[in-house]
Amino acid sequence: MVAEKKPPVISRTSEVESEYKWGFVTDIEMDMAPKGLNEDIVRLISRKKNEPEWMTESRLKAFRYWMTLEYKEPRWAKISFPPIDYQDAYYYAAPKSQEAAPESLDDVDPELIEAFNKLGIPLEEQKKMTGVAVDAIFDSVSVATTFQKQLEEAGVIFCPISEAIEKHPELVRKYMGSVVPYTDNFFATLNAAVFSDGTFCYVPPGVKCPMELMTYFRINAEGTGQFERTLIIADKGSYVSYLEGCTAPMRKTNQLHAAVVELIALDDAEIKYSTLQNWYPGDKDGNGGVYNFVTKRGKCAGRNSKISWTQVETGSAITWKYPSVILQGDNSVGEFYSVALVNNYQQADTGTKMIHLGKNTKSTIIAKGISAGKAQGTYRGLVRIMPGAENARNFTRCDSLLIGSECGAHTVPYIEVRNPTAHLEHEATTSRVSDEQLFYLMQRGINEEDAQYMIINGFCKTVFNELPFEFAMEASQLLKVSLEGAVG
């Protein structure tokens, strides 16, 4: 089977109401696999990526298992969506110019560099963000990774996962699927079969990664699914802070995004993983937007290890994700900080799972949900204390803010305790911006809209504080843009 050539995509942004400023389409010639999903397509993806036999086999195994699931997605979450035709999507889309992996940035199509410039992610040497190494992924492939040399000097491997499969097969084979097995859930299985690109990161023992690592995901082509795979390993005593951002053009049809992220922290290691999720949310009437079905899980495999998830979710028509931590090592720590904002017709069912296995393990969950317009937001979180987890601790706080009378905010915690030495506390509140607070700010001369933003921003502050500084600013901006028209 040969990949068919597709004419360049023509921008249709003008047809759609423009409020989502990342909604532009890059006009670039694409190399697409034919529509649909079967073993040939899986093999084609693997071949396109020059993968070794074991990887192809691993994909096929996942695909065959996926076929037994009979296209039945999990439907227990508080989200509703029409049946997805998995045969009516492209599972591989790459900029034509990237067919031969570029040796340096000079080989990268200037259109692509410009696209990332427009997104605020400059890739050229002289414009690079300071202190942040970026892996830029455009549809199914990695376009460029900055600061690779500096990172190499520190011993940190930071590269597209396709490159890692080729150059570091021993690490990939050891860890990929070790936290999220291919049988985990419908979307994880699909991802294991057709994942396109993603980021791989390995921090060797004792190394504190000298800069923030970032992956920027961009869906561009129409009718494609995006299935990236991220694998981060922090070896003993190491530290890494990783950030991902994502956007997509405005399209009238829904796009499927089903990523898998696996984190592994060995003894005394720490991983901080931050997400600014800003996929296209659809228009005001609920047309279009990304279906974001993501499986993210970290394993605190070693003693005294720590994994911290921070997410700011403002985009996507539907968000279904539960970044989780398996607290296996004694004294390990899991954290989940989340702001999930839904407006118009967006739906989000998001939260976390903290599975306590080791002794003296500790987890903290701070979730802030904001619902506006006609949107539905749900926090769903599991805290499970297994029999061996002596002296486990959990603190959970979920607050929801409602803006307007047509939206919904829901909290569904699951607390499962099988050890009497555990100590768990869970608190949740749902309210709207209080009239007292609004009056106080307005009495000081601040207009109602700004007053609302100040209060909402304050509501999210404990979560924003967990983000690297520049991204905290960005997150706050995102919040404001996403709420436009909802307050005031």
Contacts with other proteins, residue ranges (CB under 8 A) = 75-76, 387, 400, 402-432, 434-437, 439-448, 450-451, 454-455, 457-462
Supply the minimum distance, in Å, between the C-beta of residue 443 and other proteins. 5
b/e code 144-158 from CB counts within 10 Å (16+ = b): bbbbbeebeeeebbb
Return the ∠ at Cα 211 (arms to 210 and 212), rounded to 5°.
145
Supply the minimum distance, in Å, between the C-beta of residue 304 and other proteins. 23
Which CB, 15 or 435, lies closer to other proteins?
435
Return the ∠ at Cα 290 (arms to 289 and 292), rounded to 5°.
145
User: Coil, strand or helix: which one is 320?
Assistant: strand
Supply the minimum distance, in Å, between the C-beta of residue 179 and other proteins. 24
In angstroms, how far is CA 155 from the centroid of its own chain?
26
Supply the minimum distance, in Å, between the C-beta of residue 462 and other proteins. 7
Supply the minimum distance, in Å, between the C-beta of residue 416 and other proteins. 5
Supply the minimum distance, in Å, between the C-beta of residue 362 and other proteins. 14
Which CB, 140 or 371, lies closer to other proteins?
371
Return the ∠ at Cα 151 (arms to 146 and 152), rounded to 5°.
115
Q: Rounded to whole angstroms, how far apart are CA atoms 57 and 64?
A: 10
Supply the minimum distance, in Å, between the C-beta of residue 437 and other proteins. 5
Q: Rounded to whole angstroms, how far apart are CA atoms 423 and 289?
A: 41
Q: Is 43 left (phi over 0), alpha (psi -120 to 50) or beta?
A: alpha
In the chain, helix, strand, coil percent, each to 5? Answer: 25, 35, 40
Which CB, 178 or 457, lies closer to other proteins?
457
Q: Rounded to whole angstroms, how far apart are CA atoms 232 and 156?
A: 11
DSSP E strand stretches across 152-211: 157-160, 199-203
Which CB, 83 or 420, lies closer to other proteins?
420
Which CB, 112 or 348, lies closer to other proteins?
348
Which CB, 154 or 454, lies closer to other proteins?
454
Residues in CB range of 14: below 8 A, 6 or more apart: none
Please report, as a single letter, which amino acid is at residue 239: Y
Supply the minimum distance, in Å, between the C-beta of residue 406 and other proteins. 7
Q: For tokens 């499927």, what's the residue?
A: 256
Which CB, 115 or 455, lies closer to other proteins?
455
User: Coil, strand or helix: which one is 12?
Assistant: coil
Supply the minimum distance, in Å, between the C-beta of residue 467 and other proteins. 14
Which CB, 209 or 402, lies closer to other proteins?
402
From residue 182, alpha-carbon distances to 61, 225, 388 in Å are 9, 18, 27
Which CB, 24 or 395, lies closer to other proteins?
395
